[in-house]
Structure 1
Amino acid sequence: MKRIVKQSIAVCAAVMSLFTTSCDNSQQESTLTEQTIEHQADSIYACTMHPEVTGETGDKCSKCGMKLQLIASETPENIEVKFATEPLTLEAGKEAKLNTSILKDGKTASLDIVHEKQIHMLIVDEDLTWFDHIHPKEQANGSHAVSEIFPHGGNFYVYADFKPRGSAGRVHKQVIKVIGSDHAIEDDIENKWVSQVDGYTVTLINGNDFQTNRPQHLGIRIEKNGNNITTDDIEPYLGAIAHVVIIGKEDKEMLHVHPGSNEHVPIHGETHFEKPGIYRMWVQFQLEGDVHTADFTVDVIEGSETIENHRHDSGNPHSH
């Protein structure tokens, strides 16, 4: 995703580290994207969820809208994630326990609470047709565990979104194999901008206007029985108006966005796409104590570099 670097701050590099799981299951693969920022200035601010986004005090993340935080550590850190399942062989329709251990310099890492949880775990199937957002709980030994039931066989992607105390946030991506009957794969849908969920009609009103090389707005309208849901109707969910998860169909890279509202739509956010292609999006919001999940599919096209600073009102979307 796009790196935003203020001219007044010297940023040396973003270092990508690769870790492997300690699980004995040879069918499981694991990667950890760790972006460690080294700098020469007295202070540097970065997003806790997207550490590649840096800036100055008071700035907000262009991907999720969170306020940038001061990075406490100026030296690269050894963060290791170990992932295991119980049972070792996972079967569709049967409960499984997912165990995550996060180590910092060889010792159990203390995790900050971000949006009310220490770990946000996002799980999707390989076709991006099934989605779940769960939260492992800390165990007596410092690891984190949560139960899940996988609906069908095949490969599943597990993203653990967390922030070690005193460090930038990280996302650990795990691929696991589940045995069982494969599900029927739906025809590819290049565009899905309207989602029907629990009696609500949820519309991504600028779904025809997604491009790379610019700040990308997200405008989401919610209706029920012909009446618009307003900001006053929506209840906070995990410390935000809503949670938006976006995953690329090809590379399976994930964005976790925390939107707000504006005068036009009850859910409004901003992110950034580096690559064109098909993306799946899940929007979670809470009304009357219940969490609802709407899904969309968008085709992100290659945008012109000249529209880097382009802005438009997401309440009145248009195409280019």
Structure 2
Amino acid sequence: MKKWAISAFVYLLVVVSGYYVYASVAEPDSHEKKEDIHDETTVVHGQDEENSHGQEHQENGDSHSGESEVTPSLQDVNGELIITLKDIEGKPVSDLEVNHEKLLHLIVVSTDLKEYQHLHPQTNEPGVFKISHSLRTGEYKAFVDIKPKGKVYKVEPITFKVGEKHIEHNEGSLMVDSELTKEAGGHKVSLLPSSLKTNEEIQLTFDLGGETPEQYLGALGHVVILDEKGENYIHVHPLEGNEPVFATKFSDPGVYKIWAEFKFNGEVFVYPYVVEIK
């Protein structure tokens, strides 16, 4: 009986010792597996952080209009303006929304803001628009007004030169109009602003002397506004209705030039005004 008890005790001791030996060997493997899982989790978490950062960057891109995802360039070649649109990867951008009956509006002004043209280049290859011009020798700023589908875009001035000889223009040369009535093509148009103050909505009402303008690019008229430096571009369309009333807002004080375009008897006329926003 004692021999059986001793044998059983020895057997139990061997089993227990074997278990502890196994546990001491197996535990490092288990710990290593936990570290592998942690590493995989870290990688996935890193991907999540990257995606989250990408979304945040996209949101910032949407909220900060200065981070344009489309870059236009302009060349003057043999009397032809060539506009090329590329995305941030350098690929052509051709997926544009039709905006007031056109894919692209090109506003060209001389650097002294005395000359003004509203052009509509045509395209026959992806991301490239062309139009012949009759610009005189001088320095100009171009504003490519487009609406790319699914991409952030802000209109910025593109400076270019026509010909070799140029006259330097000094900033601050604009004279504020004391009279806001202009005449072109035998038609008088008066500008009646509701206010000339910053940070409030201003209605720009135009008195056409009883005349009714024809539809031009799907609207009663168009208004383009630039600051004195020719940097801040505003393209305003009329409010809904049958009256030539436009609404806009100026965030900074200063001198601005306003070009109003109206169509009479099949011809478009431009009426320029210089105002001071205080």
* Fold shared per TM-score above 0.5: yes
| Alignment of 1:103 onto 2:128 | no
Say whether 1:170 aligns with 2:154: yes
Alpha carbons 2:137, 2:166 under 8 Å: kept: yes
Determine the structure 2 residue equivalent to 1:121. Answer: 106
Q: Distance in 2 between matches of 1:37 and 1:258?
A: 23
**Structure 1 or 2: more strand by fraction:** 1
Return closer, same or farther for 1:200/1:99 CA change in 2, 3 Å cut-off. Answer: same
The yes-or-no answer on 1:272 pairing with 2:249 is: yes
* Residue in structure 2 matched with residue 194 of structure 1 by the alignment: 181
Partner of 2:192: 205
Deviation, structure 1 residue 167: 2.9
Q: Name the counterpart of 1:305.
A: none
1:293–1:140 Cα change, 3 Å: same
Shift in Å, 1:204:
0.5
Give the Cα separation in 1 of the matches to 2:148 and 2:167.
Answer: 37
2:222 counterpart letter in structure 1:
H
Contact 1:161–1:169 (8 Å) recurs in 2: no
Deviation readout 1:6-42 (Å, 9 max, x if unpaired): xxxxxx7899xxxxxxxxxxxxxxxxxxx8316xxxx
Equivalent-residue separation in structure 1 for 2:230 and 2:247 (angstroms): 21
Which stretches of structure 1, 4 residues or longer, exceed 6 Å deviation after superposition? 12-15
Amino acid at match of 2:237: H
Relative distance call for 1:270 and 1:13 in structure 2 (3 A) is farther
Instruction: Report matched runs for 1:134-145 at 5 Å.
Output: 134-145=119-130
Per-residue CA distance 1:274-313 (angstroms, 9 max, x = gap): 1111111110111221111111111111xxxxxxxxxxxx
What value does the CA root-mean-square deviation take over the aligned residues? 3.0
The Cα of 1:235 is off from its aligned counterpart by 1.6
Return closer, same or farther for 1:239/1:199 CA change in 2, 3 Å cut-off: same
Helix, strand or coil at the partner of 2:84: strand
Q: How far, CA to CA, are the matches of 1:217 and 1:133 in structure 2?
A: 23
**What is the aligned counterpart of 1:237 among 213, 216, 231?**
216
CA distance in 2, matches of 1:170, 1:292: 27
C-alpha separation in 1, matches of 2:254 and 2:107: 21
- In structure 2, the partner of 1:36 is 61
Determine the C-alpha separation between the residues in 2 that align with 1:180 and 1:101.
Answer: 26
Which structure is higher in RCO with an 8 Å CA cutoff and minimum separation 6? 1
C-alpha spacing 1:253/1:194, structure 2 compared with 1 (3 Å): same
- Three-state SS of the structure 2 residue aligned to 1:37 is helix
Q: Which amino acid aligns with 2:61?
A: T
CA 1:168 to 1:190, structure 2 compared with 1: closer, same or farther past 3 Å? Answer: same
Question: Structure 1 residue 161 and structure 2 residue 159: aligned?
Answer: no
**1:147 positional shift:** 1.6
The structure where helix makes up a greater share of residues is 2
**Amino acid in the other structure paired with 2:208:** I
Cα distance 1:141–1:261, how it changes in 2: closer, same or farther (>3 A)? closer
Secondary structure of 2:207's partner? strand
Q: Deviations over 1:194-244 (max 9, x none)?
A: 11111111100237x311011111011112xxxx12xxx322111111110
Aligned to 1:83: 74
1:48 corresponding residue in structure 2: none
Which stretch shifts more, 101-110 or 235-244?
A: 101-110
CA offset at residue 108 of structure 1? 1.8
Shift of 1:183: 9.7
**TM-aligned CA deviation for residue 106 of structure 1:** 3.2
Compute the TM-score of the two structures, normalised by the length of structure 1: 0.61
Structure 1 contact 202–220 (Cα < 8 Å) conserved: yes
1:242 to 1:13, Cα distance in 2 relative to 1, 3 A: farther
Q: Which runs of 5+ in 1 are unaligned?
A: 1-11, 16-34, 39-50, 53-75, 88-95, 302-320
Q: Which residue in the other structure is 1:220 paired with?
A: 206
2:264 is the counterpart of 1:281: no
Task: State TM-score, norm by structure 2.
Answer: 0.69
